[in-house]
């Protein structure tokens, strides 16, 4: 499997670059907890929030309800959440989801991809635009993240609607 870190670093740098210089976010594939898989290129045309988390992560417990609210608020408007769990023991996930009232679709990354996406820590969240360019990335939890994400998502959902998508 090709190395993801250089592609992620390029994508992170592209977030600060002009739209003409922006590169697409790496075309990762995630296995679904309910079977099947999703590849980011299949989601082109949508605003995508990729959130990498674990049940044992305290900041993840604070951020997942925010991710859930984004999912509840925008999932009917060309917005997709890919919640990527990195727990070694997947039996912990369902009880955790019930306890925290989380109903997000859960995915898993390959160990190589998961390790590189979480190199700076977890939770790691990537907001990807309809053209697959990185709009924002957040490592760790911040109380201000919900307002920031709403602004970014709404700006890009409006742009998508204006173009007829």
Please give the mean pLDDT across all residues of the chain. 84
Say which CATH class 5-162 falls into. Answer: alpha beta
Residue 10, classified by CB atoms within 10 Å of its CB into exposed (0-12), middle (13-18) or buried (19+), is middle
pTM confidence score: 0.82
Tens-digit pLDDT profile for residues 53-106: 999 999 999 999 999 999 999 999 999 999 999 998 899 999 999 999 999 999
Is 146 in contact with 67 (CB distance < 8 Å)?
no
| pLDDT score, position 109 | 86
Mean pLDDT confidence for 120-142: 94
Among 2-16, 42-56, 89-103, 139-153, where is mean pLDDT lowest?
A: 2-16
| pLDDT score, position 160 | 57
What φ, ψ does residue 128 adopt, rounded to 5°?
Answer: -115, 135
Mean pLDDT confidence for 27-35: 89
Supply 162's token pair: 């204006």
Integer Cα distance of 98 and 104 in angstroms: 11
Integer Cα distance of 1 and 113 in angstroms: 9
Mean pLDDT confidence for 40-58: 95
């Amino acid at each position: 499997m090709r190395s993801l870190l250089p592609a992620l670093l390029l994508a992170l740098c592209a977030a600060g670059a002009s739209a003409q210089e922006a590169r697409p976010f790496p075309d990762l594939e995630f296995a679904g907890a309910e079977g099947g898989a999703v590849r980011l290129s299949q989601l082109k045309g949508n605003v995508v929030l990729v959130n990498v988390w674990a049940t044992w992560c305290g900041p993840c417990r604070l951020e997942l309800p925010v991710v859930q609210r984004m999912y509840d608020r925008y999932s009917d408007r060309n917005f997709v959440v890919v919640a990527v769990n990195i727990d070694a023991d997947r039996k912990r996930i369902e009880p955790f989801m019930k306890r925290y009232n989380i109903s997000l679709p859960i995915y898993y990354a390959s160990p190589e991809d998961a390790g590189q996406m979480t190199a700076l820590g977890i939770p790691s969240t990537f907001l990807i635009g309809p053209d697959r360019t990185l709009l924002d990335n957040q490592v760790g939890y911040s109380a201000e993240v919900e307002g920031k994400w709403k602004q970014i998502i709404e700006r890009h959902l409006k742009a998508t609607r204006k173009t007829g998508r």
